[in-house]
Structure 1
Amino acid sequence: MPDQFRETYGPIALVTGASSGIGLAFAEELAQRGFDLVLTARRTDRLDALAERLLSSHAVRTTVIGCDLADPNAPARILEATRGADIGLVVSNAGFNVKGAFEDTDAAAMARMLTVNCHAPLQLAHGMIPRLKARTRGGIVFTASVEGLIGCPYSAAYSASKALVVALGEALWGEMLGTGIDVLTLCPGATESEATAGMAAMTQLQSAAEVAKLALGNMGEGPTFVPHTHYRQMFEALREQPRSAALAAMAEGMRKRT
C-alpha cells in the first residue's frame, strides 16, 4: 500500500505552512512514505532544520521555499519555483485564525487572514491543477476546519474563510471526477499545536500527526473529511438542527466561556 500511494501521488509533494502544526506533520508523514518534498513557510530556519532531519531519517530530498502567503504574489512565486518539478500531491495547508467578537477583530489581521486562508489555496489550485491533469494522477488536500461547515459565532471571519475552502474543495472534487486527481478537504477540530499549547481549557485535542496520517489514509474518500470522531458527531448534530437554533446555542455557549 505505501508503494501504491507513492505511485499515485508521488514522487514529490508540495506542503504549505510546513514549519509547524499539521503542515509539519504532513511533511513528516509524507517523508516516511518516501516522498521528496517542496516545503513552504515564512520561517525558513525551521524548514531548513526539518529538511536536514528528513534527509537523515528517511533519505528524502527537500526543497525549501521561504514565503509569506499574506503576500498576494506568493502563490505565483511558488508556482514559478516549482515549474518542472514532478509534484503529484499538493497539500494546501497554510492558514491562521483570529477569534473573538467580530467588531473587536483587527481589520488588518482579517485582511491578512483572508489572503492566507482563501487567496493562496485558490491560486495554488488554479496553477497546479493543469500540471496534475497532465500527469493523469495525483491529489490535492485543502486544510479547512470544522468551523467552515457552519457559521461559528465569535469566530466569524475565520469561519467564513474556511467555508470558502470547504466550498472550493467540494467543487473541485466534483470537477476532478474521472481525471485521476483526488481532492480532499480536511476539516480538523481542535488540534495540538503551538497555538493551543497554552490553552488549558481546550479539550478533545487531536495530535497533528494523527490528523495528517488519517487525511492521507482517506485521500480517496472525499469530498470532505473530519478526522476526529467527537467533532464529526458534534458538527453533524449541529447541521441537522434548524440553523437558527444551532447558531443560537453556539453563541450562548461561547458567551458563557468569556
Structure 2
Amino acid sequence: MKNVTLITGATSGLGLEYAKEYAKKGYNLIITGRREDKIKANAGNIENTYNVKVKTVIVDLANEKGVNTLLSEICDDEIEVLVNNAGFGLKPVFSEVPKEDMDGIMYLQMNAVVILTQNILKQMLVRNRGTVINISSDGAFAVMPGNILYSSTKLFILNFTEGLYMELIDTAINVQVVCPGFIDSDFHESAGMNVVKKKKGFMKFMDPEEIVNLAMRDLKKGKVVSVPGLDAKIIRIMGNFLPRNMFYKIIINFTRKRNEKLHR
C-alpha cells in the first residue's frame, strides 16, 4: 500500500483523531490496537467516511513479539507518516508496580517508539520525505507522585524526538513531539484511574480533536515541540523555570489535594 500513515494505538483518543485527520487528507492508513472489535469498527467508519484504505493490525506493542509482528505486517507498505501514539498509564505508586507492568510500559513507550521510528525512517530517508510524530505528555515536564514511570518514559520520548529533529535537519523529513495535558479519552479508565473529566479550571480535560488540530497547526509552522493547551504550557513553564524545591512543594501539595478529593 502506498501513501500510508501508520498510527499506533488508534482505538480511541488521540490515535483515532490522528487517523481521521490523515484520512481527511487522503492518506491510506495502518492502525494498531489491542481491542479488535473497536479498532475494526474504527477502520470501517473511516473507510466509509473518507474513501481511503485502512489496514488494521491487532497487536500489543508492549513486548518484542508485538513489535516484530507489526514490522512484518508493514514491510511492503510505503509509509509517509508515522504517529507513535500507543501508551498506557499505571495507577500504583512505584513501589507497588508489578514487574510485568514496569517492563510493559518501558518497552511500549521507549523501545517500541525507537524501533518503529528507526525502521520506518530508513525508507523515508531513501525518498527524502516523511513525517514522524511522537506523542509525549506534559508529564515530560513535571513528574508527579504515583505517575513516575509514565512521566519518565514520556521525557525519553521528548528528548529522543528533539535529538532526531537535529539529526535530520538537512533532510526534508518533518519531526514533531506532542505534549498534551489531560485528554478526554478512555486512557484513565483503562489505567484504573478515578478522574473527574467535567471539572473546570486548571488541569481540565481537553477534547482529542482540539489537541490534534493545535498540534497539526504547530507541525505546519515547523514547531518541533507542540504543547497544546494553556494548562500544558503552564506545566512546561513550571517545570523549566521554578526552583526545584519550590517545584517539589507545589507538585506534592497538588497531588495530596487531588487524592483527598478523589477519596471523599
Per the normalisation by structure 2, the TM-score is: 0.88
Corresponding residue of 1:131: 123
Paired with 1:107 and 1:241, the residues of 2 have a C-alpha distance of 33
Q: Give the CA deviation at 1:171.
A: 0.7
Deviation string 1:17-48 (CA, Å, 9 cap, x unpaired) is 01111111111111112111011111122221
Corresponding residue of 1:241: 242
Paired with 2:69 and 2:207, the residues of 1 have a C-alpha distance of 31
Corresponding residue of 1:200: 196
RMSD: 1.8
Q: What is the 5 A alignment of 1:45-124? A: 45-124=37-116
Report the secondary structure of 1:110's partner residue. Answer: helix
User: Contact 1:13–1:90 at 8 Å: present in 2 too?
Assistant: yes
User: Contact 1:31–1:37 at 8 Å: present in 2 too?
Assistant: yes
What percent identity do the matched residue pairs reach?
A: 25
Report the secondary structure of 2:57's partner residue. Answer: strand
Corresponding residue of 2:4: 12
Corresponding residue of 1:4: none
In structure 1, which of residues 191, 206, 220 is the aligned counterpart of residue 183 of structure 2? 191
Paired with 1:152 and 1:255, the residues of 2 have a C-alpha distance of 11
User: Contact 1:14–1:38 at 8 Å: present in 2 too?
Assistant: yes
Paired with 1:199 and 1:160, the residues of 2 have a C-alpha distance of 21
Q: Give the CA deviation at 1:117.
A: 1.2
When residues 183 and 210 of structure 1 are mapped into structure 2, their CA distance, relative to the original with a 3 A threshold, is: same
Number of residue-to-residue matches in the alignment: 249
Runs of 4+ in structure 1 deviating by more than 3 angstroms, as ranges, are 195-198
Report the secondary structure of 2:169's partner residue. Answer: coil
Corresponding residue of 1:217: 217
Instruction: Say which is worse superposed, 247-256 or 31-40, in terms of deviation.
Output: 247-256
Paired with 1:234 and 1:23, the residues of 2 have a C-alpha distance of 23
Unaligned runs of 5+ in 2: 260-264
Paired with 2:84 and 2:122, the residues of 1 have a C-alpha distance of 16
Instruction: Say which is worse superposed, 51-60 or 195-204, in terms of deviation.
Output: 195-204
Paired with 1:130 and 1:219, the residues of 2 have a C-alpha distance of 21
Corresponding residue of 1:3: none
Paired with 2:16 and 2:107, the residues of 1 have a C-alpha distance of 21
Unaligned runs of 5+ in 1: 1-9
